[in-house]
Structure 1
Amino acid sequence: MRRILGGLAVFLGVLALVLGLRADAVYHRLAKVKLDQSTTAVSEGTGVSVMRVWGDGKTVHFAPLTGQRVRNTRNVTGIPGKVPESQRDTQAFWQMGLKTEIVDVQPIAMTNEGVSLDRVSAMTTNCCGDYTSVGTLDEPGRTASSRHEGLFFKFPFDAQKRSYPFWDAELKGARDASYVRNETIQGVTTQVYEQQIPTTRLPGSQSVPRSMFVADAIGSVDASVDYANTRTFWVEPTTGVILKGQEQIERTLVSDAGRVTLVKGTIAYTDATQKALADEYAPKAKALAFVRDLLGPVGFVLGALLLALGLLLLFAHRRRARHQDLGHREDRELVGATATDRGDEATTTSHR
């Protein structure tokens, strides 16, 4: 039994030592985003001001609304087939579908965007046919190729307390999201990052009805859009997953005839979305942190102890076996000596 237990302990000790030596490799294999990602995040805001726009044949109608409940539903789906097989170890391609609606009134917008990203850093890479929506009222599903920069879906694994560039669709570029504090969300410690975009005039202009600015006015006027936003991200740092996202957004239509609000308000992940993300990623974060921080030391210590125990048991078994062998040999010699003595005694008796 000691030999079996000793052999098992030696085997497990060697296995633990190998795991300790391979801890970094195991971590880097696990710390990658999925190729076939599938998530849904719902954001809502109340008291939002929004310009309702709808069509009636060739006529466009609009009406400014206040105190509205607005919902964003974002579906992210990984498409492994968009990534060449030779690049799948490092690259992923995710598609995002976003629906924005005034609850119980009408949809505002539907967009579709395809983004390539590095599976570890989460930075966009533009490797695999990135695209974005350029739809109109006549062609809502139209897309065009595009280039992205910075982060788009998440933060990197092992996110640090510093600034990261994060994509902004309105600016068509990345702006820094800076670490500001730690905060607990759904029982999970997160690192909070904030991206501040001051009021910016977006490039280009469009012709809109003058009556958007002045009641009963006729004709049209060229207008531009002023845009400002403050994004806040509550990030689980080990996985880089955003457990809560929030936008304080303002888009204003500006012309010589005046200014009107297109959208203004605060929209954030719902409690249900936050809980679902925390329930999914908190256990993964703990397991990943163990592999990153403790698997190596634990593997070395446990491996050394098991190896020592196994060798001790094997050595003790051999010593015991050797003692038993010596005992048997002495018994045999004693038996042989007794038999010889008896033989000599018998010979002496016969001679008499």
Structure 2
Amino acid sequence: MNRAVALRIAACGIMGLGAALLIAALLLSTYTQGKIAKIPLDIDATLISDGTGTAFDPASLLGERFVINEDVPVVMQQQMTVESPANADVVTLQVGTTLKRSDQQKDEGLLLAMVDTVTVNRQTAMAVSSETNPGGSVQKPRAIEDENPPTSIALPHEGLTYRFPFDTEKKTYQVFDPIAQKAFDANYSGEEDVNGLTAYKFTQNIGFDADGKLVEPVKFASLYDDDADSQATATAKLWGLEGDPEESITMTRYYAAQRTFWVDPVSGTIVKKTDRGYQYYAREALKPEVTFVDYTVTSNEETVEAQVAAAQDERDRVSLWGRILPITFTALGLVALVGGALLGTFSLRAESLLIDPGLDDTGGRFFGRRGDEGEPVPGAEAMTEKLPAQRPSDLPPDKPV
């Protein structure tokens, strides 16, 4: 194999590599990015929010009157894990939520406990259902001493739950509330910096108007067959009401909430959240009589830092496959194509020289002849007269030889 053929093969190989890199860049920026921008399957997070509120004292159930304490410390904890089904298309999130008075020991201050499960699309974060999977469920409450396995009630979810979609837009989304068992609007309300990350802010009102006024509370959705936790009957004395202290009065439990979500627009991760919940007993929905709990909690600093770090990891992963590698491959592909084309040109010249040097108008050199080997200057071919040399005898006597 001569040098010209070797150069031509190398040129073809380099141009083929360049074309492959350009195709890879195109695939990474379209098809592959769509496969990468998905909710991870290894989520295992503990989210803690703390604040203060007005709360019922569970110990007063055994007293002569229900006691409501004001300005008590309240902690909400959510444990989020991945359950089955979880595959290339969907992921199932199981979230155990507890709301406790942190001024009381162990479970004495427990105000709310529930385990919510939802299956969502890994790209859109929308709840999905099938014949074998209703798209969500909620665990039936159990007594602390109950050793039987937990049982769940099918609860189809709608809209978003616990996540926003990748490439979150500045618009209104439907976000599911497992306590109300319905989806409500979460409206875009601006951008804010959260620990160095630019987040989209969304606000959601359930039963409240934008000013925090109670307008349309939701009847608390019971998880018991007998609605034991959505209605309560006690004497007027226990309720703390005027009139006949022994009069039996039945009240309904109502629920309202206000939430603010700070969302990473790239990954859809909720990096911070403020949650106000209001549960009360009343005979008329818009006339609260006995507060069960009225609290406001915000994600603590450790939770915010962990969620921002998780969002940044997902951003980096999407950026690597969707932007950095496509740009790098495109640049390398273009360089390879240009380099291969130039090498191919030189290989053709080399091959023409080997076949017939006269076919190359450069005279056998890639860059032409040197100036002293070019066309002869016309003046250089002019006839010149040769002058005869003088003999010594012809010289004048006074001039030395």
Paired position in structure 2 for 1:29: 35
Which of these residues, 281, 298, 305, is aligned with residue 275 of structure 1? 305
Q: Which digits, 9 at most, give the CA deviation of each residue in 1:91-128, with x for residues without a partner?
A: 22121111222114133232111111111111111332
From the superposition, tell whether residues 76 and 201 of structure 1 become closer, same or farther in structure 2 (CA, over 3 Å): closer
Paired position in structure 2 for 1:134: 140
Among all aligned residue pairs of Structure 1 and Structure 2, give the percentage whose two residues are the same amino acid: 23
Question: TM-score with structure 1 length normalisation?
Answer: 0.78
1:72 maps to amino acid: M
Question: TM-score with structure 2 length normalisation?
Answer: 0.70
Paired position in structure 2 for 1:344: none
Q: Which digits, 9 at most, give the CA deviation of each residue in 1:198-230, with x for residues without a partner?
A: 231416751232313338944542111232211
Which of these residues, 77, 83, 89, is aligned with residue 73 of structure 1? 77
- C-alpha displacement of 1:290: 5.6
Q: Which digits, 9 at most, give the CA deviation of each residue in 1:121-175, with x for residues without a partner?
A: 1111133252103315478755312111110110011110000000112321101
From the superposition, tell whether residues 94 and 223 of structure 1 become closer, same or farther in structure 2 (CA, over 3 Å): same
Name the SS of the counterpart of 1:122 in structure 2. coil
Paired position in structure 2 for 1:202: 219
2:311 maps to amino acid: Y
Asked if 1:107 is matched to 2:110, the reply is yes
Equivalent runs, 1:287-306 vs 2, <5 Å: 287-289=317-319, 291-292=321-322, 296=326, 299-306=329-336
Structure 1 stretch 260-269 or stretch 229-238: which is displaced more? 260-269
- C-alpha displacement of 1:306: 2.3
Asked if 1:252 is matched to 2:280, the reply is yes
Aligned length: 322
- C-alpha displacement of 1:294: 6.5
Q: Which digits, 9 at most, give the CA deviation of each residue in 1:286-343, with x for residues without a partner?
A: 442464456556644542222212332454467568768989xxxxxxxxxxxxxxxx
State whether residues 65 and 240 of structure 2, in contact with CA within 8 Å, keep that contact through their aligned partners in structure 1: no
Distance (Å, rounded) in 2 between the aligned partners of 1:151 and 1:302: 41
Name the SS of the counterpart of 2:274 in structure 1. strand
Equivalent runs, 1:36-51 vs 2, <5 Å: 36-45=42-51, 47-51=52-56
State whether residues 207 and 220 of structure 1, in contact with CA within 8 Å, keep that contact through their aligned partners in structure 2: no
Asked if 1:284 is matched to 2:314, the reply is yes
State whether residues 76 and 95 of structure 1, in contact with CA within 8 Å, keep that contact through their aligned partners in structure 2: yes
Q: Which digits, 9 at most, give the CA deviation of each residue in 1:41-90, with x for residues without a partner?
A: 11111x3111122498x99985312222211111111123x35xxxx332
Name the SS of the counterpart of 1:276 in structure 2. helix
Which of these residues, 121, 131, 144, is aligned with residue 124 of structure 2? 121
Distance (Å, rounded) in 2 between the aligned partners of 1:115 and 1:247: 20
From the superposition, tell whether residues 53 and 306 of structure 1 become closer, same or farther in structure 2 (CA, over 3 Å): same
Give structure 1 stretches of 5+ with no counterpart.
328-352
Structure 1 stretch 167-176 or stretch 179-188: which is displaced more? 167-176
1:208 maps to amino acid: T
Distance (Å, rounded) in 2 between the aligned partners of 1:319 and 1:61: 103
From the superposition, tell whether residues 61 and 306 of structure 1 become closer, same or farther in structure 2 (CA, over 3 Å): farther
Distance (Å, rounded) in 1 between the aligned partners of 2:344 and 2:64: 88
Distance (Å, rounded) in 2 between the aligned partners of 1:28 and 1:54: 53
Name the SS of the counterpart of 2:67 in structure 1. strand
Distance (Å, rounded) in 2 between the aligned partners of 1:71 and 1:253: 22
Paired position in structure 2 for 1:17: 22
State whether residues 227 and 251 of structure 1, in contact with CA within 8 Å, keep that contact through their aligned partners in structure 2: yes
Structure 1 stretch 135-144 or stretch 204-213: which is displaced more? 135-144
State whether residues 234 and 243 of structure 1, in contact with CA within 8 Å, keep that contact through their aligned partners in structure 2: yes
Asked if 1:229 is matched to 2:235, the reply is no
Paired position in structure 1 for 2:364: none
Distance (Å, rounded) in 1 between the aligned partners of 2:10 and 2:69: 76
Name the SS of the counterpart of 1:155 in structure 2. coil
Q: Which digits, 9 at most, give the CA deviation of each residue in 1:238-264, with x for residues without a partner?
A: 111100011122222113897121111
Give structure 2 stretches of 5+ with no counterpart.
1-5, 209-213, 221-226, 358-401
Distance (Å, rounded) in 1 between the aligned partners of 2:314 and 2:13: 30
Name the SS of the counterpart of 1:240 in structure 2. coil
From the superposition, tell whether residues 6 and 183 of structure 1 become closer, same or farther in structure 2 (CA, over 3 Å): farther
More strand by share: 1
Structure 1 stretch 88-97 or stretch 160-169: which is displaced more? 88-97
Q: Which digits, 9 at most, give the CA deviation of each residue in 1:18-56, with x for residues without a partner?
A: 2222021111100111234222211111x3111122498
State whether residues 244 and 274 of structure 1, in contact with CA within 8 Å, keep that contact through their aligned partners in structure 2: yes
Distance (Å, rounded) in 2 between the aligned partners of 1:190 and 1:258: 36
The alignment yields a C-alpha RMSD, in angstroms, of 3.5
Paired position in structure 1 for 2:241: 214
From the superposition, tell whether residues 113 and 18 of structure 1 become closer, same or farther in structure 2 (CA, over 3 Å): same
